[in-house]
Chains A and B, each alone.
Chain A
């Protein structure tokens, strides 16, 4: 069965600083990988996804993520954080052919200091 680890529960960055959120997954083959963002009391919005091909994927709101097979990682990055990026971020893994069912990490809460 697949699993996802997000080792950082909380991260605080200053507005304008760069951001990297860590995600490690466990799966026997190349999984489908996703990053979602959730604002308080809201559902989840898809930021970006990786299925195959180029290991650096671009998403919405200026986010990008890099798939590193050797490290079983899919870290999310943003060069310059805006105050509106404060939210909770979830990494998720899906098994190809698994009915698109996703396994989520426990999330990283991002706080942005002005």
Chain B
């Protein structure tokens, strides 16, 4: 169990640029989640995948945001035309429901995005 890996750890970008984050979940986990956390707040759900299928998207996920998990392994989250309001920590988590309902998430360390 190597944990959930997120890259990059930090990203500073200029307003209007596109950014892409990567998440590598625990290998046997078939569910992968993206959350966003702004300063002083708890994480907010963005989207999740079961294998390669994106099963739910939050209304927080505007059309500038897109997430993929092409082979059911790693996932990418892209933000187009970044805005200052996109500055946040983007957290990825994975889990395996097949292990039973009482198996919690494992979170990655997150990608801190700063839009200047």
Inter-chain contacts of B109 with A (CB < 8 A): 41-43
Are the CB atoms of A100 and B91 closer together than 8 Å?
A: no
Interface size on A, residues (CB 8 A): 24
Q: Residue-by-residue, is A94-114 near B (CB-CB < 8 Å gives 1, otherwise 0)?
A: 001001111111110000000
Any chain B CB within 8 A of the CB of A92? Answer: yes
Closest Cβ of chain A: how far from B14's Cβ, in Å? Answer: 23
Inter-chain contacts of A107 with B (CB < 8 A): 40-42
Q: Which of A42-84 contact B (CB under 8 A)?
A: 42-46, 49, 51
Interface size on B, residues (CB 8 A): 28
Inter-chain contacts of B105 with A (CB < 8 A): 44, 46, 100, 102
Inter-chain contacts of A92 with B (CB < 8 A): 42
Any chain A CB within 8 A of the CB of B102? Answer: yes
Q: Which residue of chain A has the shortest Cβ distance to B50 in the bound complex?
A: A99
Give the complex CA separation of A100 and B98 in angstroms: 12
Q: A90-B42, A100-B105, A102-B43 are in contact. List 20 more A-B contacts (CB 8 A).
A: A42-B110, A43-B6, A43-B107, A43-B108, A43-B110, A44-B93, A46-B104, A49-B102, A51-B101, A96-B101, A99-B31, A101-B48, A104-B43, A104-B44, A105-B42, A106-B40, A106-B42, A107-B40, A107-B41, A107-B42
